Amino acid sequence: MAVFREVDPERAGPEALGILVPPGRCTLVIVRPRALDCDLIPVDPHGKMAGPTFWEVGRREAAALARKLHQALEDNASGGHGRVEAVASPSGDGYRVLAAVGPFTLIACDRRPGQPYRPRELAGVTEAQREAERIAAVLCPGPAGGHELYFNTRHFAR
């Protein structure tokens, strides 16, 4: 039984989990837990820079990546071995939250409309661990099923 129930984006409720693909030839895949004030962005598994870099892909690849991410979320919520944890930021001045979902690593970012994504920096480990727990509850809501999940590849009003 699927843990997530796919719904139309316009009908998704405030607790829904979204997978968004913004317009553009080169784009990101965004995991949006509506109940939280952050988005989760996949980290490029081939990144060569120090610290995580966002995984930018072509439009076609983004649609396929979104579907693979959906399957990884299902597998994780159905008893997979995902995890969400607080980690020290590369600067050493705070903490970030990373989620491992199947083969994907997602990083929590501030959601600021009109602004580029930046990893969320939290001052203390306790605050970062609480954020990790909130994110884990959305990404792995339990096997009861029926949790709303929507795909948004065209509209970004919500």
Which residue carries 């609480």 as its tokens?
Answer: 130
pLDDT value of position 29: 95
- Closest Cα partner for 19 from 63, 57, 60, 79? 63
pLDDT tens-place string over residues 62-81:
989 999 999 999 988 887 67
pLDDT value of position 154: 67
pLDDT value of position 35: 95
Q: Which two tokens stand for residue 106?
A: 């997602």
pLDDT tens-place string over residues 9-51:
999 999 999 999 998 889 999 999 999 999 999 999 887 666 6
Question: For the whole model, what pTM was predicted?
Answer: 0.91
Amino acid 141 reads P
Confidence tier at 3 by pLDDT (50, 70, 90): confident
CA distances from 148 to 11, 15, 17, 29, 57 (A): 10, 7, 6, 18, 26
pLDDT tens-place string over residues 108-140:
999 998 899 999 999 999 999 999 999 999 998
- Closest Cα partner for 69 from 99, 102, 92, 96? 102
The domain ranges of the chain are 4-152
pLDDT value of position 158: 40
Cα–Cα distance between 98 and 106 in angstroms, integer? 6
